[in-house]
Amino acid sequence: MGRPPRTRSDAVLLERVAAGDEDAFADLVGRYQARFFRVALRILGNERDAEDGVQLAFLRVFRKAGSYRSDWQGSTWLYRVLTNVCVDVWRKRGRQPSIDAASEVEEAAARTHSVALRLDVHGALARLPAEMRSVVVLRFSEDLSYEEIARVRGVSINTVKTQLARAKRALRSHLKGAW
């Protein structure tokens, strides 16, 4: 989008958005849209739902920026809003693994030589509840710490660990024989 390098912190941008500054909102969208899409796609499994999720999340950001507090890292709050929306989209789309997910993952697998991808990790992930998939995505795609994931999802660190362990178990049993 050709925006200048970041000059204002996320927290400052969020405060500007809360004050109704549309340019600050456009900056925030430019800064976060790729990351939001990456996370939404990994939680929801197909590009159409992911784009819906991103739009709804930014709508929520725009409407609720007033409740942002600067003792939170901006990105933590944004991940909270985004994963909330994705979990809700997943619920309303019937809690079903998406049909497109498999084909997109196969395409992705075809572009790499990873054995794990051929084992269809995403197919296995699609069967997990969206909350658990959010935690997996925040950990392995976004590289967040347990503590930050716990904050994003409003759960204890132990719950984060339990959910990651359960996700791995589910993957193992889905991919059994190959592990």
Partner 1 sequence: MGRFSREEDLAAAFVRLPESPAGLDRRVIDFVRGTIDDLAHLPELDIEATDRGVSRVGFGTGRTRTSGAASRRFAEQAREELAEFFGAERGYFTVPVDLSSARPFQRAVLEAASRIPLGEVRSYRWVAAGAGNSAAVRATGSALRTNPVPLLVPCHRVIRTDGSLGGYAGGLPLKQRLLLLESRIPGLVGLVATKRVCRAGCAMEKAGDELDRVVFSSIESARASGYRPCRSCRPEGVE
Min separation Cβ 41 and partner 1, Å: 6
Check binding of 37 to partner 1 (CB under 8 A).
yes
Check binding of 136 to partner 1 (CB under 8 A).
yes
- Smaller CB separation from partner 1, 156 or 173: 156
Check binding of 54 to partner 1 (CB under 8 A).
yes
Q: Using an 8 Å Cβ cutoff, are 166 and 75 in contact? A: no
How many residues comprise the chain?
Answer: 179
- Smaller CB separation from partner 1, 7 or 83: 83
Map the footprint of partner 1 across residues 65-124, applying CB under 8 A. 67-69, 72, 77, 80-81, 83-85, 87-92, 94-95, 104-105, 108-109, 111-112, 114-117, 121-122
Min separation Cβ 131 and partner 1, Å: 5
Map the footprint of partner 1 across residues 17-36, applying CB under 8 A. 25-26, 29-30, 33-34, 36
Please state, in angstroms and rounded to a whole number, the distance separating the CA atoms of residues 134 and 39.
Answer: 8
Check binding of 168 to partner 1 (CB under 8 A).
yes
Q: Using an 8 Å Cβ cutoff, are 78 and 15 in contact? A: no
Among 12, 21, 75, 141, binds partner 1 (CB under 8 A): 141
Cβ within 8 Å of residue 118, ≥6 positions away: 109
Please state, in angstroms and rounded to a whole number, the distance separating the CA atoms of residues 45 and 32.
Answer: 19
